[in-house]
A and B are shown apart, each in its own frame.
Chain A
Amino acid sequence: MSEAGFASSAETTVTVDGHGLPLWLLLELTYRCPLKCPWCNNPLDFDVYREELSTAEWIDVLRQGRALGAVQLGFSGGEPMQRRDLEELVGEATRLGYYTNLITSGMGLSQTRLGALRDAGLKQIQLSLQAMDADLNNRLVGAEAHAHKLAAARAIKAYGFPMVLNVPVSRHNIGEASTLLDFAEELGIEYVEFANLQYYNWALVNRSDLLPTREQIAAAERVVAERRARLGRRMTIYFVISDYYDDRPKACMKGWGNIHLTIAPDGAALPCQEARVITGLEFPNVRDHALEWIWRDSPVFRKFRGEDWMQEPCRTCPERGHDYGGCRCQAFLLTGDAAATDPVCGRSPHHHLVGEAVAMAMADRRSNGLIMRQRGFNVA
């Protein structure tokens, strides 16, 4: 016990420092999904990856991950409800001592399966919803999904799960914040996350048709501030700004290979969900290697870990310990060099690229429509 005082301040009680442990394990169980969201963060060639890990292989990943110190576990996709063995995997994760999160569109989340997931020990569910306006919601996801999503939200709360309502925010639905919050309040949803889209994969393809204006973002922030003031601790509202409108980069994944580990449907181990956008990296696969080697020693996970890889201006920047140079994937997508400073940073020599992308999006306001997620998409 400390001599200075028995109970220290809250600041010193909180840390996300994993001390080298992969605290967060995210399993992308499948890339299959009945929706066609034009901001999907799955790879553009998602349909190429057909050999999903088997139930036994996923269970082996779960055991290895827990032994390495993973605590938070996400089941994601694609749509994870597409896997018929989800309940079995959740049950095994519960036995191993994970805190289990299901990240779902609500498609396929029947009452029967909700009950089975609860019995398997699932801790919380994150449900995505785009709008309370059914036509708008269905147009954005490319399917008749709205009624299913609302029913899923009600069922999740009826079964007593804590719930995160996730709203992927583009210029098409940013004006829906108020009605979505009404719905969340009515249901007693504990967390609402307005996640301004991050521009990778499908969202990057559609960037000019998705990026909101500064004015739209400011208006939504006012709505959120008013709700926070009124609802207090009854609801936690996150508002994740689009980093295109920031001049400080996000502390992406709290650093590459620091606390986060994603396993893709085919068993590829990724330092973040988007990492496959960086070409030239050979991602280690859990079918070939032990998870401990992948995490500690594989070249990909070591590549941008720590600070040795940094160039100027990151190398001598006083912020480098806080933002880790921003996002490696974004650096690669916008500059062609994954080791460059994230161009979102005002100190990046490539910062003008972000401003130009915003200007293009504002001027263009394309009328040829959103490109929905689809098979056989020609990347070139």
Chain B
Amino acid sequence: MSNGAPLQRSDVVELDPRYLFRWEERQQAYVLLYPEGLVKLNATAGAILAEVANTAEIGVLIDNLTEKHEQQDIAGDILEFLEQSHERGWIRIKR
């Protein structure tokens, strides 16, 4: 559980096992499924959580996404989204 401290590049995060994250063909979108609920993610949110599912460390994840999308200044945005995901319980800090 977070004690409110902001996420760091060195943190290792993972999807919370209560959520099932996957690509949904009919919606052409990533979705998060959980007991009696679902969240459809927009393209950017889906791309970040897909990276969370593959990678562990936030710093590596940011570097991967930056490279993939050839954008320089997205680290802050990614961290902000991860904070929101953490707040919502979609992801948790592994260590």
Contacts and interface: CB of A to CB of B under 8 A. Distances in A.
A367 interface: no
Interface of B: 1, 18, 20, 24, 26-27, 31, 33-45, 47-48, 65, 69, 71, 74, 77-78, 80-81, 84-85, 88-89
A68 B24 CA distance: 12
Contacts of A378: none
**Top-6 shortest CB links A-B:** A7-B81, A6-B74, A69-B26, A99-B33, A7-B77, A10-B84
23 contacts: A1-B69, A1-B71, A2-B44, A6-B77, A8-B44, A8-B45, A10-B84, A10-B85, A15-B40, A17-B40, A21-B27, A69-B26, A71-B24, A71-B33, A99-B34, A123-B35, A124-B34, A124-B35, A126-B36, A162-B34, A163-B35, A190-B18, A234-B1
- Most-contacted residue by chain B among A7, A69, A71, A162 (CB, 10 A): A7
B14 to A, nearest CB: 15
Nearest to A4: B77
A233 B89 contact: yes
Contacts of A6: 44, 65, 69, 71, 74, 77-78
- Residue from A23, A164, A232 having most chain B Cβ neighbours under 10 A: A23
Given A7-B77, A7-B81, A190-B35, 6 more contacts: A7-B48, A10-B84, A13-B39, A72-B33, A72-B36, A74-B36
A8 to B, nearest CB: 6
B44 A1 contact: yes
Interface in A155-184: 162-164
Interface of A: 1-2, 5-10, 12-17, 19, 21, 23, 68-69, 71-72, 74, 99, 101, 123-124, 126, 162-164, 190-191, 232-234
A90 to B, nearest CB: 15
A163 to B, nearest CB: 8
A24 to B, nearest CB: 8
